[in-house]
Amino acid sequence: MQNRLIVSSSPHLRADESISRIMRDVVIALLPATLAGIYFFRMGAVKVILAAVLAAVVTEAAVQKIRKQPVTIHDWSAVVTGLLLAFNIPATAPWWLPVIGSIFAIAIVKHTFGGLGHNFMNPALAARAMLLASWPVQMTNWVKPGADAVSTATPLAIVGGMEATGQPLPSLFDLLIGNVGGCIGETSAILLILGGVYLVYRGVITPRIPVIYIATVAVITFALGGFDLHYMMYQVLAGGLMLGAIYMATDYASSPVTPKGQIIYALGCGIITSVIRLYGGYPEGVSYSILLMNVAAPLIDKYTSPRVFGEVK
């Protein structure tokens, strides 16, 4: 009688996954790009990364204490938010900028809507959009990699003709390894891809959203860019496409859960990114495209959810 059958409602799946294990894997995946950012941008990157991560963790603990909830800073989710926000900020930013961004991301975007898993948009991207609208000068003060901190334009701004700097266009190899100006985490495409492969291997994400998102941008920019393969590769490797597609568009809470919905979501991200880059007045479109599709994710899930077995009209 000790081995009685216990009847309970579904689901009956069991797995060893936990929030801390998933978030820890994301931090591990981001470590190569983090080290590259520190190598290229020196102490400026260290300052921004530490300020963003520490502010995110402290804000998480403070909000949960105020709301009389268990403090869950050990689950690494606040660390991931702070690190992703730092990746979206230039190394020249003053220390208070990532601090304000992390407070906004955790306190407003995350906990105002119920905490982890209830936020309807990516907290790091929402904070970046707020910072860019509030302090555009500090958020667009790019420098060349190295200790000299010489001002420069981003590769997308140069190739789009939005800044007549007279600077030579960085090579595709420079884009691949990260030896270009830009945000801390947008530079090294190969290391971001390496981290993405690790996340797929660990089962944290599926390649569906990143692959379709990146492929959509590649096809549209190739077709509308005069069928220029070099221009298409530039659009794929430059800017925040790899960072956004692999690490932020795949956010569990703010992306669709159905396979068909994820395909629509990724296509929408790719189309909006391409339109902003090619026809907008802003050289980058990844952040806004993901945020817009985050808002549309519940509607996408509603119309792509499979029919419940036995359901009748």
- The residue whose two tokens read 């209830």 is 118
Long-range contacts of 17-24 (CB under 8 A, 24+ apart): 17/203, 19/75, 19/76, 19/77, 19/116, 20/74, 20/75, 20/76, 22/204, 23/75, 23/76, 23/77, 23/79, 23/80, 24/76
- As a whole number of angstroms, the distance between CA 269 and CA 214 comes to 9
- As a whole number of angstroms, the distance between CA 231 and CA 152 comes to 20
Q: What percent of the chain has pLDDT over 90?
A: 62
- Give residue 15's pLDDT: 52
pLDDT in tens, 300-309: 999 998 876 6
In this structure, of 181-190, 239-248, 293-302, the range with the lowest mean pLDDT score is: 181-190
Q: Name the CATH code of domain 19-303 (choices 2.60.40, 3.90.550, 1.10.3430, 1.10.287).
A: 1.10.3430
Q: Is 61 exposed, middle or buried (0-12, 13-18, 19+ CB in 10 A)?
A: middle
- pLDDT at residue 13 tops 60: no
In this structure, of 10-14, 51-55, 260-264, 309-313, the range with the lowest mean pLDDT score is: 10-14
pLDDT in tens, 29-48: 999 999 999 999 989 999 99
Residues facing 143 on adjacent strands: 151
- pLDDT at residue 191 tops 60: yes
Rounded average pLDDT over 279-284: 82
Helix axes 123-134, 77-87, angle to 10 degrees: 40
- pLDDT at residue 206 tops 90: yes
- Give residue 143's pLDDT: 80
pLDDT in tens, 62-100: 999 999 989 988 999 999 999 999 999 999 999 999 999
- pLDDT at residue 178 tops 60: yes
- Give residue 124's pLDDT: 95
What values do phi and psi take at 10, rounded to 5? -70, 160
- Give residue 61's pLDDT: 95
* Domain spans, the chain: 19-303
